[in-house]
Amino acid sequence: MMGRNDEYQSKMEFIDLNVFVPSNHILRQINEKIDFSFIYKKMEKYYSKLGIKSLDPVLLFKMLLIGYLFNVDSERELEQEVHLNIAYRWFLGLDLTDSVPDHSIFSQNRRRRYKDSTVFQEIFDHIVKLCIEKGLVTGEVIVTDSTHIKASAAKGKVEKVVVEKTPSKYLNTLELEAKKIERELEKKRIESGKKKSGRKPKGPSTETISKVKTDSDSGLLNRPGKPSGPHYLAHTSIDTKNGIIVDVHPSPGNINDCEPFVERLKVIQEKFDLDIKNVGADRGYDTTPIHHGLKTLEITGYISPIQ
């Protein structure tokens, strides 16, 4: 006999959301490993001691984390997804009858209260340090690559700007080494009574670049096989032992992938006190400045050669 659910009626139930979240769910695994209460200490300086209570900063950060993990890139959509998803509610500490923070409140907290602050970087670094303490990150092998991110800027709003041309850090290093040698040679010439010689100092040079009017921090991406227009690059470094990201560095989309590479390795070493032994990257990183930088840092590079 075919059953029919015609006898539905309203009823009162006591529900434990915990039983609806599987043991292998990523949010349950994260919640078991990380105590997010450290965020209160890091964020308390951004709140007044007076007035009404604000949106819980831990809830705010966890919502951002949900958006990142499940690829929800709209705050309106994120509000709706949390409203409907039991696992999200459980992770945020919201019961079924609790209201979800309005997307506008969430947005204004993110864009205004923490604007120009380093609090999200501090939270990221704190979690990486926890991973190091647990032995999940060792620094033995670090791999790096970059990915383009479309900027919220008009492609046609571009102007040409003349700026002073600055040499790369690699060329600066070579220049400093050359000047050091010149000073030593000059000292020997003076001691031997010879006339002063040496290179004539070069004056500043300029170059013309394209600048996006509506987002000056972005850059025009124009590479074969890549989308064109205003973009950013996210340079991401991962410790290979457990695939944990240890550094994310944003840059304009018009710089070369390899430019921040060596400097970010220095940052990772100094910030987390890691002894990086080996690094891996694709052929876009097969440049003389990178090989010179790795040699200086005494790091072995495994980089695909340019054919």
User: In this predicted model, what pLDDT tens digit does every residue of 63-116 receive, in sequence order?
Assistant: 989 999 999 988 899 999 999 999 999 999 999 889 998 888 877 877 777 777
118-140: per-residue pLDDT in tens?
898 999 999 999 999 999 999 99
Q: Based on the number of CB atoms within 10 Å of its own CB, is 261 exposed (0-12), middle (13-18) or buried (19 or more)?
A: buried
The number of angstroms, rounded, from the C-alpha of 54 to the middle of its chain's C-alpha atoms is 27
pLDDT band, very low/low/confident/very high, at 201 (cuts 50, 70, 90): low
The per-residue pLDDT for range 173-198, each reduced to its tens digit, is: 555 565 666 666 667 667 676 655 55
Statement: residue 295 has pLDDT above 60? yes
Q: Quick check: pTM over 0.85? A: no
Helix axes 261-272, 288-297, angle to 10 degrees: 20
Name the 3-class secondary structure at 192.
helix
CA–CA separation, 225 vs 23, rounded Å? 42
What span, in angstroms and rounded, lies between the C-alpha atoms of 21 and 78? 19
Question: Are 70 and 84 contacting, i.e. CB atoms less than 8 angstroms apart?
Answer: no
Q: Is the pLDDT of residue 19 over 70?
A: yes
Give the model's pLDDT for residue 257.
80
- 14/16 Cα distance (integer angstroms): 7
d(CA 5, CA 8): 6
